[in-house]
């Protein structure tokens, strides 16, 4: 079964648009890094803060 020429063109356009929309955020992110000079992958990781969790109770004493 052969596709019509107009259907093939429409599929190709939709595929190209989908790839553009998929790659656009990544391209913009690296473009922003290039313009601003930021390199977040080179920053040292912060130490995890140890937090004390307190046990809370929703139970109320009814006398």
1 falls in which pLDDT band (50, 70, 90)?
confident
pLDDT score for 11 = 96
What confidence tens digit (pLDDT) does each residue in 32-46 have? Answer: 999 999 988 888 777
- CA-wise closest residue to 33 among 41, 21, 24, 23: 41
Per-residue pLDDT at 58 exceeds 80 = no
The mean per-residue pLDDT over the stretch 19-40 comes to: 95
- pTM for the complete prediction? 0.52
- Least Cα distance to 39 among 52, 48, 30, 49 occurs for 30
pLDDT of residue 63: 58
């Amino acid at each position: 079964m052969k596709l019509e020429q107009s259907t093939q063109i429409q599929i190709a356009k939709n595929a190209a648009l989908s790839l553009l929309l998929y790659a656009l955020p990544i391209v913009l992110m690296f473009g922003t890094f290039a313009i601003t000079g930021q390199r977040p992958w080179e920053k040292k990781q912060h130490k995890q803060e140890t937090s004390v969790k307190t046990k809370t109770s929703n139970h109320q004493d009814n006398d």
